Chain A
Amino acid sequence: MKLLNQSVKYLSLSILAVITVWAVIFYFSLFNEIKSSIDEGLENSKRLIIRNAQQDSTILTKSYFDESFFAIRQIDKQTAFSVKDRYLDTVLNMQDKDDETPEPEPVRMLITAFELDGNYYELKVANSMVEEDDLVKELLSDVIWLYLTLIISIIFINNFALKKLWKPFYDFLSQLKEFRLEKNQVLPQVKTKTKEFTDLQNAVNALLRHATQTYEHQKEFIGNASHELQTPLAIATNKLELLIENGNLQNEQAENIAEVMQIIERLVRLNKSLLLLTKIENKQFLDNQTVSLNQIARSCVTDLEEIASFKGVSLSINESAELAAQMDASLANVMVSNLLRNAIFHNIANGNVSVEITETAINISNTGQPQKLDENLIFTRFYKPNSNAKGTGLGLAIVKAISVLYGFQVSYAFHDGLHNFKIDFPSA
Chain B
Amino acid sequence: MKILAIEDEPQLLGNIKESLEKENFLVETASDYHSAIDKIFIYEYDCILLDIMLPNGNGLNILAELKKAGKNENVIIISAKDSLDDKLKGLELGADDYLTKPFHLAELNARVKAVLRRQKLDGKDTIEIANSVLDLKERTFMVDRQNIPLNRKEFDILNYFLLNKNRLVTKSALAEHVWGDNSDEADNFDFVYYQIKNLRKKLQSAHADIEIESVYGIGYKLVEK
Interface residues of A (CB under 8 A from B): 227, 230-231, 233-235, 237-239, 241-242, 244-245, 249, 251, 254-255, 257-258, 261-262, 265-266, 268-269, 272-273, 275-276, 279, 284-285, 287, 303, 306-307, 310-311, 330, 334, 337-338, 341, 345, 390-392, 394-395
Contact = CB atoms under 8 A, between A and B. Distances in A.
Nearest to A271: B102
A244 B184 contact: no
Interface of A: prevailing SS: helix
Contacts of B22: 245
Contacts of A241: 19, 104-106, 168, 170
Nearest to B216: A254
Name the residue in A262, A276, A285, A338 with the highest tally of chain B Cβ atoms < 10 Å from its Cβ. A262
Nearest to A392: B184
B183 A234 contact: no
B78 to A, nearest CB: 9
B184 A338 contact: yes
Interface in B147-182: 151, 153, 167-168, 170, 172, 179-182
Interface stretch (B7-15, B35-43, B122-130, B200-208): B7-15
Nearest to B187: A390
B101 interface: yes
B18 interface: yes
Contacts of B114: none
A285 B82 CA distance: 11
A234 B153 contact: no
Interface in B186-200: 186-188, 190-191, 194-195
B80 A245 contact: no
Given A244-B168, A245-B167, A257-B218, A307 B179 contact: yes
Contacts of A310: 190-191, 194
A276 B22 CA distance: 34
26 contacts: A230-B100, A231-B9, A234-B12, A237-B102, A238-B12, A238-B16, A241-B19, A244-B168, A244-B215, A251-B216, A254-B216, A254-B218, A257-B218, A258-B217, A261-B172, A272-B181, A273-B184, A306-B191, A306-B195, A307-B188, A310-B190, A334-B182, A338-B184, A341-B184, A341-B185, A390-B186
A345 B185 contact: yes
Contacts of A276: 182
A311 B188 CA distance: 10
